[in-house]
Copies of this chain bind each other. A is one copy, B any other.
Amino acid sequence: MLEELKQKVYEANMELPKRGLVTYTWGNVSGIDRKAGLFVIKPSGVEYECLKPEDMVVMDLEGNKVEGRYQPSSDTPTHLELYKACPEVGGIVHTHSPWATSWAQACRSIPCYGTTHADYFYDGIPCTRSLTGEEIEGAYEKNTGLVIIETFRDRDPASVPGVLCANHGPFTWGKDAANAVHNAVVLEEVAKMAYRTEMLNPKVSAAPQVLQDKHYMRKHGPDAYYGQGSQG
């Protein structure tokens, strides 16, 4: 079932090591079929070299495994909460990519210092609050999803397609699995440049709002003129 989606989610997972975002098995990608109400996700702890499209696990939105010989990623309940809360999200990525994770470990949001950031993320990329002891000792992965949703209470996940989980690492999303990986790559690049920007100028402030608006809208607004029309 969902062979085409499995293939796409498989390919999106394989982009992670290719792009240098994961060490060993430290990442996972999922993609959803909204009509079927099912999503497909990487199995837990299987090495990328051994991964095959048919190893992808099919889950329903109640968190039941519908198909697959492997256990799904241990982060599956986080993906599930995000799919339920954000109907426009078609794919989700979690990694421990080193630059983004360093910001997450520093418990800091990434300010928007330039147009590279503004081209993809409208305003800063937020860092969640720390989970409470109860949230960690309880349904930890589910609560990770809930604290992300809490963080986006006054933000639009479509225009800020990523988040840093405090002391943990990043999640990104997009219209499908491939797009979510694209945003994970961008986040890593943006995190790297923001770090260096602060080292070069500790008093730096965010890029002017009007410049942020211009760049975001140039690619994403109704009058977007970047690319060949069909490209984001």
Contact = CB atoms under 8 A, between A and B. Distances in A.
Total copies of this chain within the assembly: 4
Among A99, A101, A106, A167, residue most surrounded by chain B Cβ atoms (within 10 Å):
A167
Given A136-B211, A137-B210, A228-B44, A101 B193 contact: yes
A189 B74 contact: no
A87 interface: no
Interface in A156-205: 167-169, 182, 185-186, 189, 192-201, 204
A17 interface: no
Nearest to A200: B106
Nearest to A214: B136
A131 B195 CA distance: 24
A107 interface: yes
Among A113, A140, A169, A196, residue most surrounded by chain B Cβ atoms (within 10 Å):
A196
Interface in A21-62: 23-26, 43-46
Contacts of A228: 43-46, 70-71
A107 B201 contact: yes
A108 B201 contact: yes
Contact of A98 (B71, B133, B193): B193
B74 A101 contact: no
Given A131-B211, A210-B133, A211-B136, A194 B116 contact: no
B167 A208 contact: yes
Contacts of A211: 130-131, 136, 167-168
A198 B106 CA distance: 7
A96 interface: yes
